[in-house]
Structure 1
Amino acid sequence: MKNLFLFLTLLVLSVSAKAQEKSQDTTKIEILDEVLVKSVRVNATSPITHSNVSQEELEKRNLGQDIPVLLNYLPSVVTTSDAGAGVGYTGIRIRGINAQSTNITINGIPYNDAESLGTFWVNLGDFASSVESLQLQRGVGTSTNGSGAFGASINILTDVISETANGELSNSFGSYNTRKHTLKFSTGKLNNHFEIAGRLSQIKSDGYIDRATSDLKSFFLQGAYVDEHRLIKAITFSGHEVTYQSWNGLEDLDLLEDDRTFNTAGMYTDEDGTVRFHENEEDNYKQDHYQLHWNERINNNWSTNLGLNYTHGQGYFEQYKEDEDFADYDLEEVVIGGETINTTDLIRRRWLDSDFYVVNANVNFKKNMLNMDFGGSYSVHDGDHFGEIIWARNASNSEINDRYYDGNGNKKDFNVFTKATIKLNEKISLFGDLQWRLVDYKTTGLTSDRYELKVDENYSFFNPKAGITFKLNDLNHFYFSYARANREPNRDDFENNENVKPEQLNDFELGFRHQSDRFIINTNLYYMHYNEQLVLTGNIDNVGNPIRTNNGESYRLGLEVEAVINPLKWLTIQPAITLSSNKNKKTVVFQDGSLTDLGETNISFSPELIASNALVFEPLDHLQVSLLSKYVGEQFMGNTDSDASKLDSYFINDFNMSYKIETNAFVKSITISALVNNIFNEEYISNGYYYTYDDTWTVPGTTTTIEGAGFYPQATRNFLVGATLKF
């Protein structure tokens, strides 16, 4: 309650750095670059709940932290960081919906991992520096490519073509030895048609959590041809991340209180009984992307887009393991001096080597009161999963580069959709969207726990959507929409559940938007009804992946309000608040040896209150000073409402400053930026895990359910400062 009172007190003094849309001239010729994302985006008057973020808004806080952290102040968003400071492995939940249920596309190309359905932003180091704009759609949203949006989607448009040659050099430094170095360039239009542009980046950080280091190297390169009716873009980008693992969290409450940065990853005891840490307990992964886009405006009514993609990912994570059983690695017992040895200390690497192919095709027709999109996407994912022992104290019968498990996952995903917006008159427009999606998923071989995973599933999903927008006048309009989404389980779901089922969502959204010169407000009421929702149990597997399970019927009911208020020319206030109720309609658990019906319970990781606010001062030209505040209410990490699974509410504040100096010299401008995160030094936790196990040995004949939890502490006060030179 203390944090809630503080937030409400400062609600008019803090901020959601979210983008707001401006009225658009519908007669303006569409920028060809935007065709790349036209099929998966919606416009300002669409009956879809959404927020837009521009490159300019990202730049003010882009000092090295990952994209989820830069989106932290959007409505209904909760973010977290394994390393605690927003660099390395970061996550985002929207309306309580986990990353596996959020669809991500880059230039219309699916980015979610095809098997895990998750998004690993760590593989996109400094990608925010190559983003022209992004759109966050809350709820099911419009039909998209790849794994279906099951409560949220984020689509990203990368850098558009520059008219003139330019260069950019950006450097930032801050707490935990964090530093970012970025070099960008563009040739501008050569011969009025061609452009080559690129970026080279490195981000390094020691992390807030002990040894949670990050070394992220990346590049972005595009070549483009453009004329009045055509845009052809060849794009390649790559990220190579090496991060010391910090996914264990802290289960020891004394450590959480006295040494909250302690990291158990890599910890072992040597032959002399000394506690040590394996220096290479790291995640090492490289991902290369190649995209080709051909946009064609045939005439004033017709335009087309063809997109091709190939992604190759390869890497491993390394672990030191003590007293491992030979049998778990298919090794034979060893007899030395009459003593039988069947365990060993060892170092293992678990590998993923995958290829991902995509083809997208879209056609747009626009005439008078009708705007239609026809599109489709087909993708193939082929992923090899295998493990190697690279060192063992007792090697048994192992050979160099022996694989102790080997498996493969193959997934084909096909979808077609058609969308239409029809203006019946100046007041009313109708929106319709029909999507058919086919998924074929097969696995062979062994899992990392060395049991056979044999999946051979085919899914056929029909996802209809419809909406209406009523324009009351030039300043106000209302909308209502309905959307259905179906979604397949991921690889981990099949590993952890024998009879896992696909999930279904029916999403209803009722909204109101007002836009005037000094006041913008967007409000919407949503009801999301789920069948067999795959909710987070709170537990994680042995590599930190969240475990999910079907939960029958459940729902999310919420109200979202966001606004932009300009009481003075030099002052902007941007509050946002989400009030929600998120419930499993019936929860039955095995507790203390018997089945217990808990009735209606809260859905895990779904706070009832999320609020943010921004107070933005612009006292001088090119100077912006902001106070950013965020409140997240208490939430449960499991679905049983157990106090042991509770995460306390938290209230944090960040300070952001940006000052631009324009010159007439070779250096056209210098922008100095500063970011102080968590200025009041709050010790808070934004993520964790919860588990139970049955104790049948302490009291023979009696089963007692034991609860446990782990937590991911987030950084206390920390800062980043940087300078960007544009040429």
Structure 2
Amino acid sequence: MKKVFLAFSAFMSGVGAMYSQQQTDSLKLVKLEEVVVSATRVSRGAPIAYSNLGEVEIKKDNATKNIPYILQNLPSVVSYTEGGTAVGNTALRIRGTDASRINVTLNGMPLNNPESQEVYWVNLPDISNSLQSLQVQRGVGTSTSGTASFGASISMQTAGGKGNKPYADLSSAYGQYNTLLLTGAAGTGIMRNGLSVDARYSYIKSDGYIRNGKVDHKNIYAALSHYSDKQLIRLIYMNGIQHTGITWLGVDPSKIESDRRYNEAGEYEDDNGKTRYYDNETDNYYSNIGQVIYSRYLTNNLTLNANLSYNNGYGYYENYKTGESFADYGLSNQIINGNTHESSDLILRKLMQNDFYVGSFNLDYKVGKFGIIAGTTYSYYDGHHYGRLLWVKQNQNIPNDYEWNRNKAVKQDMNVFLKTEYRPVDNLSLFAEVQERYIDYRMRGLDDDLADLTNKNYYNFVNPKGGISFRFSNYNEIYGSFGISNREPLRADLKESLKGGKTRNIRSERLYDYELGYKYANSIVSFSANFYYMDYKDQLVQTGKLNDVGYKLQENVPDSYRTGVELSLAYTPTEWLRLDGNLTLSRNKIKNYTVYYDLYDNRDDWNKLGQISVFHKSTDISFSPNVVSSFGITFKPFEKEDFTLSFINKYVGKMYYDNTSNPYNRLQDYLVTDMIASYTLDVNKIGKFDFQFFINNLASIKYSANAWVETVKFDDGTEIVYKGLYPQAGANLLGKIRYRF
């Protein structure tokens, strides 16, 4: 018996040691995964306002939504779409800041286009289904690479090896407006040799709500990873193909009541005076993203992370234009059958192609209560813009695919950063970070209006950040932080400032961000309150002012600010009920703002007399509602059945769509409710089947989520106002089936 007992004890000790080793190895792998994005994220207890979403949260209520709509129920987020549904051209604002001011990284490497400083989510179809985690930081945050975080940052991490078992994930969704999603994913898990392979394919098609809001998207994701006890190597490839109908003109308010789905894009009259629409009024883009990720434990305390990224993009949009002047395209008048034509209907393409190279390197050192990350990122962008005429109605001698303009830009961006965290006692955390960023941006060639864009621009920024957080009474935490962010002008700002034969002093912008917060969390309820004051210096806003030859320009306004409070609550009183909500109350103002309007003699002759200006001592910043809120309630009525029913409500207050606080240029507030019913059937040895039913905009509320306006004035005191609104779809249904093992 003694021998048996000793043998059994030895066996159990071996099993325990093996289990302990698996836990240790698993923990090491998790830490290596975290190192990949550590330079662009904050951890628990950091003095930053942030939200985390894991893979389950990203996917659970998502059928065909782009990232902006997956994030729409987070604090201070307002999402909108051109086509009226959550597919196609979608965008978001956070604290009122637009996409060009939101830093986005993918696996720690910059994703924003260096010229527009924006991520066009339509060019990354269904990227959400390739993510394993996502973090949104509000305010300056802790972004260390890419464009400036001027209101928020989004850090995304793609999926890699998922445990030690192979998996498959297939789903299909279909809904109104012929919306269709087909997606399939599979992976080997981490095999005994340390290798794992992950792959996914997505196809999305829809007619859209707005006429011509059609969508035809494809996406491929593949990752090859190798794990060892000390390092992770991952190769990633993403391919996105998007074909989307042009909807960016919006709908004239006079058309809204009679036809909310009207879209004038591609509209023309044929020779018989009949209204027709060009059938290829589309925006198209092809993207290829390749990444190499390398993380390694150098010692027990020191980790290396070195990454490479290459983004290749090619795209164009195609327009039917009516009555276009030949002179605008550098062409002489066309003489046909003895008749001289100064203008013509035509079809044009505006094209772009770019290559974006990124390399990043950082060291992560942790010992005891002290942690430090030091690193650098370098990027090189080579972009081309050019225009071609595909067809000209009145054509005497214009060659096929006539190219009337081409310009090129090269942008180099290099930064070095150092971020530290120190916990002198268990409940106190000190955070500090400093980044130095250098930018070399050069353009040359002709713009689409034949203006010469040749110029060189250099910027050097220092961006410091710091904060402190203190935890007390087990469940409570208070924190405060301060950060500075600097931002260079966009391509559009710089190129328009050059036109007319003289340059203007377009300055970079600066943001001083003050944050103060409180958090409480236990197993039943969590609550947070975050107060912020974002003070902008020389913020660029559109004033309507023209240069010497009539170009509308953006100008630096000396002082503007955003201030508010963000409240969040999650409450689970029972196992069958969960309540989630957030509320942002804010004030967003520009001080000492002057707006300029074109002035004409009368509505018959349209002879320009110049411009007139109107001064505002204080005015609201456009697209910045004072109230933004989200509230969700989730029921799980059956104890033994995996069935949930959720109602998600989004409220967005009134907001102006220009900077004049004109009540006639204001979008009405709206409250939209979505319903989601979910049921999971677990079939032993086969896998799980998920069934979901969505009703978006349950009450069929008629609202517009975005708009634009242009005003011209006449000498007699009258004016004409041109507007475009973006109406959203009423109640619409969608069903989804998912199989996974």
Question: Same fold by TM (over 0.5)?
Answer: yes
Query: After alignment, is 653-662 or 497-506 more displaced?
Result: 497-506
Give yes or no for the alignment of 1:531 onto 2:537.
Answer: yes
Retained in 2: the 8 A contact 1:332–1:397?
A: no
- Which of residues 677, 682, 685 is equivalent to 2:704? 685
Structure 1 residue 457: deviation in Å? 0.5
Retained in 1: the 8 A contact 2:160–2:225?
A: no
Structure 1 residue 538: deviation in Å? 9.7
Retained in 2: the 8 A contact 1:538–1:604?
A: no
Q: What code does the residue aligned with 1:333 have?
A: N
Give yes or no for the alignment of 1:626 onto 2:640.
Answer: no
Give yes or no for the alignment of 1:94 onto 2:108.
Answer: no
Q: What code does the residue aligned with 2:712 have?
A: Y
Query: After alignment, is 595-604 or 220-229 more displaced?
Result: 595-604
Give yes or no for the alignment of 1:562 onto 2:568.
Answer: yes
Retained in 2: the 8 A contact 1:107–1:157?
A: yes
Which secondary structure does the structure 2 equivalent of 1:583 belong to? strand
| CA deviation profile, 1:192-219 (whole Å, cap 9, x unmatched) | 4001110011000100101210000110
Separation in 2, partners of 1:58, 1:673: 15
Structure 1 residue 704: deviation in Å? 4.8
Structure 1 residue 590: deviation in Å? 3.3
Structure 1 residue 144: deviation in Å? 2.2
Separation in 1, partners of 2:360, 2:401: 39
- Which of residues 686, 689, 700 is equivalent to 1:670? 689
Counterpart in 1 of 2:725?
A: 711
Structure 1 residue 445: deviation in Å? 0.7
Query: After alignment, is 192-201 or 133-142 more displaced?
Result: 192-201
Q: What code does the residue aligned with 1:714 have?
A: Q
Structure 1 residue 74: deviation in Å? 0.5
Q: What code does the residue aligned with 1:182 have?
A: T
Give yes or no for the alignment of 1:189 onto 2:190.
Answer: yes
Retained in 1: the 8 A contact 2:103–2:143?
A: no
Question: 1:710–1:119: structure 2 CA closer, same or farther, 3 Å change rule?
Answer: same
Structure 1 residue 228: deviation in Å? 1.1
Counterpart in 2 of 1:292?
A: 292
Separation in 2, partners of 1:683, 1:405: 42
Question: 1:537–1:256: structure 2 CA closer, same or farther, 3 Å change rule?
Answer: farther
Structure 1 residue 683: deviation in Å? 0.3
Q: What code does the residue aligned with 1:711 have?
A: L
Counterpart in 2 of 1:641?
A: 661
Structure 1 residue 270: deviation in Å? 1.0
Retained in 2: the 8 A contact 1:210–1:261?
A: yes
Counterpart in 1 of 2:734?
A: 720
- Which of residues 569, 574, 591 is equivalent to 1:585? 591
Separation in 1, partners of 2:541, 2:96: 10
Q: What code does the residue aligned with 2:202 have?
A: S
| CA deviation profile, 1:425-481 (whole Å, cap 9, x unmatched) | 123221000000001111111112221223310000000001011112321110000
Question: 1:538–1:60: structure 2 CA closer, same or farther, 3 Å change rule?
Answer: farther
Query: After alignment, is 400-409 or 334-343 more displaced?
Result: 334-343
Counterpart in 1 of 2:247?
A: 246
Counterpart in 2 of 1:115?
A: 115
Counterpart in 2 of 1:652?
A: 672
RMSD over aligned Cα, in angstroms? 1.8
| CA deviation profile, 1:654-685 (whole Å, cap 9, x unmatched) | 0112211111233x110111221110010011
Structure 1 residue 44: deviation in Å? 1.6
Which secondary structure does the structure 1 equivalent of 2:459 belong to? strand
Counterpart in 2 of 1:608?
A: 626
Question: 1:548–1:169: structure 2 CA closer, same or farther, 3 Å change rule?
Answer: farther
Separation in 2, partners of 1:58, 1:549: 39
Pairing of 1:84-483 with structure 2 (within 5 A): 84-162=84-162, 163-251=164-252, 253-483=253-483
| CA deviation profile, 1:635-662 (whole Å, cap 9, x unmatched) | 0011111122101100110011221111
- Which of residues 501, 512, 519 is equivalent to 1:513? 519
Retained in 1: the 8 A contact 2:380–2:413?
A: yes
Structure 1 residue 501: deviation in Å? 1.7
Separation in 1, partners of 2:213, 2:494: 30
| CA deviation profile, 1:318-354 (whole Å, cap 9, x unmatched) | 0011121111112222223432122121111000010
Query: After alignment, is 371-380 or 335-344 more displaced?
Result: 335-344
Unaligned runs of 5+ in 2: 1-23, 498-503, 546-551, 600-610
Separation in 1, partners of 2:636, 2:232: 38
Query: After alignment, is 589-598 or 316-325 more displaced?
Result: 589-598
Structure 1 residue 28: deviation in Å? 5.9
Q: What code does the residue aligned with 2:526 have?
A: I
Q: What code does the residue aligned with 1:530 have?
A: Y
Retained in 2: the 8 A contact 1:537–1:638?
A: no
Separation in 2, partners of 1:594, 1:60: 53
Separation in 2, partners of 1:615, 1:346: 53
Query: After alignment, is 469-478 or 583-592 more displaced?
Result: 583-592
Pairing of 1:31-50 with structure 2 (within 5 A): 31-50=31-50
Which secondary structure does the structure 2 equivalent of 1:451 belong to? coil
| CA deviation profile, 1:680-726 (whole Å, cap 9, x unmatched) | 01001110112222335xx4xxx655433221001111122101111
Separation in 2, partners of 1:536, 1:607: 18
Question: 1:538–1:523: structure 2 CA closer, same or farther, 3 Å change rule?
Answer: farther
Separation in 1, partners of 2:542, 2:301: 46
| CA deviation profile, 1:26-65 (whole Å, cap 9, x unmatched) | x965432221111100012000110011111121222112
Separation in 2, partners of 1:695, 1:412: 46
Counterpart in 2 of 1:6?
A: none
Retained in 2: the 8 A contact 1:506–1:530?
A: yes
Question: 1:595–1:393: structure 2 CA closer, same or farther, 3 Å change rule?
Answer: closer
Structure 1 residue 585: deviation in Å? 1.4
| CA deviation profile, 1:470-497 (whole Å, cap 9, x unmatched) | 1123211100000000001111122344
Retained in 2: the 8 A contact 1:489–1:502?
A: yes
Retained in 1: the 8 A contact 2:536–2:560?
A: yes
The total of aligned residue pairs comes to: 689
Separation in 2, partners of 1:425, 1:168: 45
Give the share of equivalent positions with the same residue, in percent: 36
Separation in 2, partners of 1:194, 1:267: 54
Retained in 1: the 8 A contact 2:209–2:261?
A: yes
Retained in 2: the 8 A contact 1:644–1:707?
A: no
Q: What code does the residue aligned with 1:613 have?
A: F
Question: 1:706–1:599: structure 2 CA closer, same or farther, 3 Å change rule?
Answer: farther
Retained in 2: the 8 A contact 1:536–1:604?
A: no
Q: What code does the residue aligned with 1:718 have?
A: N
Query: Which has the bigger relative contact order, CA under 8 A and spacing at least 6?
Result: 1
Query: After alignment, is 116-125 or 53-62 more displaced?
Result: 53-62
Which secondary structure does the structure 2 equivalent of 1:424 belong to? strand
Retained in 2: the 8 A contact 1:535–1:603?
A: no
Unaligned runs of 5+ in 1: 1-24, 540-545
Q: What code does the residue aligned with 2:593 have?
A: T
Structure 1 residue 526: deviation in Å? 0.2
Question: 1:379–1:559: structure 2 CA closer, same or farther, 3 Å change rule?
Answer: same
